[in-house]
Structure 1
Amino acid sequence: MASKSAVVLTVPGPHGPREVRLTSADRVYFPERGITKGEVVEYYRAVAEPLLGVLRDRPTNLKRYPDGVDGEPFYSKRLPKGAPDYVETARVTFPSGRTAESLCPTEQAVLVWAANMGTFDFHPWPVRRADTDRPDELRIDLDPQPGTDFADAKEVAGVLREVLDEAGLVGWPKTSGGRGIHVFSRIRAEWDFIAVRHAVIAIARRVAERLPAKATVDWWKEERGERVFLDYNQAARDRTVASAWSVRGRPRATVSMPVTWDTLPDVEPEDFDVRTVPGLFVERGDPHKGMDDAIGGLETVLGWYAADERDRGLGDLPYPPEYPKMPGEPMRVQPSRARRVTSEDSG
């Protein structure tokens, strides 16, 4: 049955205006603040220009909340059925070897169509569709663990910036929309996912060694303590994070907001939400506007990884449990369990 509040929006685009149907615009998606589905759609129309700069030509997963923030979300990793004929795709290969046609946003109408299906976050792969096996973006996720907060993530991000500078890479920070910080860096699309993940591990190790009381690369939660986890596995194939400008599934409808290194010390995640960000974009523009012009290489960082392996015996780290066993990967056994098994065997 068609919604009584259904309207047809006329959306501009590179091939002329498109008509996109918006249903149930008055449905409340964020009860705490009374933010409706229609407001989310209008938000994405307001930030379409910078968001398309982030997503264009990237295979993109959709995190959908059809029942609003209090409902159960799910990911669309394949192009949903019934997509308009102007929605383009990119073929991706999952760790299992299976392939899929993934959404590849190219114009504002695609964003509006996705938002109408309950999409809050857009999760782009770190690749372009011209070569979906070689990332052109290095991503580092600073994830505060229990007992730490956004202030701790900011402190770790400052050291991360120093390490990236030493590697000849330019980092671009953004809030995650929660307690964390994401830092991205453009790279030449010359290395595969394994090499890029190794590069992130080498960078993360150096950050953790400079701030051992504040940062960690320990995969197992029982070893992380009250520190910020540098999640190197976000660089693994098929792992994604919410894009800049994405709405997050949090009660306040916060946004993953691009910021500059100069402004990062003074911001808080709650500064950026569906209602505040459009005005900030009009006032300040896109803080990451120069990102595509700052392209670096991984030669220095991969040299660090090789030296760590050769001189310190520090090789690869565990992959997530759903991944196939990878060459050179250590055992995926929780440390306390491994110690218990070893103790029982020796007894």
Structure 2
Amino acid sequence: MTPITEVEGRRLALSNLEKVLYPATGTTKGEVLHYYALTATPLLAHLRNRPLSFLRYPDGPDGQLFFTKNPPPGTPSWVRVAEVPRSSRETGEQVVVDDLPSLMWAANLVVEFHTPQWQVDEPARADRMVLDLDPGPPATVVECCSVAVWLRERLAADGLEAYAKTSGSKGLHLLVPLEPTPSADVSAYARTLAVEAEAELAGLVVHRMTRALRPGKVFVDHSQNAAAKTTATPYTLRARSEPTVSAPVTWEEVEACGSPADLVFRHGDIEGRLGRYGDLLAPLFDPARAGSLP
């Protein structure tokens, strides 16, 4: 029988709580739901008012993966659904997770949360920029950290402040709060930074996605600033072999990173980090920190 629970007055059917989703650690679906409930306050701040894309893995990361922008079948009537542009001529509906019941409903589907750099009431006007630092083996997050430190200084020279989080996979994401700016302009600026990083850090950085160029180098992926693209939301679990999290990190941790293991955070690590640091990405919500492109 599927247990029914009540969350802030909404009745939810939570299914298969004992199912092991991460065999490497024995982590169950119930533990995943518990993690999302524990991190709801900062996670909701990053999800709120943004159209949500789902990567679903109902049978764990080794099972089938489903990526969708459409509201899943059976979406409750009380979950917010917004109409958003999908192209210059088309619109579509997407879920917007603004409250705890909606978060727990979505988490019960077993999801990675992915969001764009803009909010639903200002489509294609980014309030943040993202630079996704993706290492090509044998490079690791250690090399990403070296690139991140250079990018932080370069952004500071333009009056922009960067904050870091792990991707929850192999790399690092840099996030920059912006005054609302057309996504096309942010994309162009991000590409310029990536090209400049490749020129300055010869042999370490590439700005093009071409696989043949990437072994041993860090790909500075600027493309996720395009209005149609999304990035893993801070605090989301990832569909990896272990329950790793896209976790905010301090610049001290970035600068001190000497081994890939230094920046791997699992679901059990996050409550303690929140207790110690709070949300390291909270400055993204401070209008006084929002910069403008040069």
* Superposition TM-score, scaled by structure 2 size: 0.93
CA-CA distance at 1:269 after TM superposition: 6.2
More strand, by proportion: 2
Match of 1:61 in 2: 53
Among 162, 180, 190, the alignment partner of 2:181 is 190
Letter in 2 for 1:278: E
Give the number of aligned pairs.
Answer: 289
Q: Is the 8 A contact 1:179 1:269 kept in 2?
A: no
Determine helix, strand or coil for the equivalent of 2:54.
Answer: strand
CA-CA distance at 1:263 after TM superposition: 2.4
Q: Over aligned residue pairs, what C-alpha RMSD do you find?
A: 1.6
Question: Cα deviation per residue 1:5-58 (whole Å; 9 max; x = unaligned)?
Answer: x2222323xxxx322220110011001111001110110000000001111000
Letter in 1 for 2:61: V
CA-CA distance at 1:94 after TM superposition: 2.3
Q: Is the 8 A contact 2:56 2:110 kept in 1?
A: yes
Matched, 1:80 2:34: no
**In structure 2, distance between residues paired with 1:225 and 1:249:** 23
Match of 2:116 in 1: 125
Q: Is the 8 A contact 1:145 1:225 kept in 2?
A: yes
Q: Is the 8 A contact 1:78 1:102 kept in 2?
A: yes
Determine helix, strand or coil for the equivalent of 1:263.
Answer: helix
Match of 2:213 in 1: 223
Q: Is the 8 A contact 2:5 2:13 kept in 1?
A: yes
Among 264, 283, 290, the alignment partner of 1:290 is 283
The answer for unaligned runs of 5 or more in structure 1 is 301-347
Identity rate, percent: 33
**In structure 2, distance between residues paired with 1:94 and 1:123:** 15
Match of 1:322 in 2: none
Matched, 1:92 2:84: yes
Q: Is the 8 A contact 2:61 2:241 kept in 1?
A: yes
The answer for unaligned runs of 5 or more in structure 2 is none
Instruction: Say which structure, 1 or 2, has more relative contact order (CA 8 Å, 6+ apart).
Output: 2
Among 201, 204, 227, the alignment partner of 2:194 is 204
Which is worse superposed, 252-261 or 96-105? 96-105
* Superposition TM-score, scaled by structure 1 size: 0.79
Question: Cα deviation per residue 1:210-265 (whole Å; 9 max; x = unaligned)?
Answer: 21111111232223342100112122232111111000111111000011212223
Q: Is the 8 A contact 2:165 2:172 kept in 1?
A: yes
**In structure 1, distance between residues paired with 2:228 and 2:269:** 31
Write out the 4+ residue segments of structure 1 that deviate beyond 6 Å after TM superposition.
none
Question: Cα deviation per residue 1:61-108 (whole Å; 9 max; x = unaligned)?
Answer: 011001112101111201112211221123222247432111111001
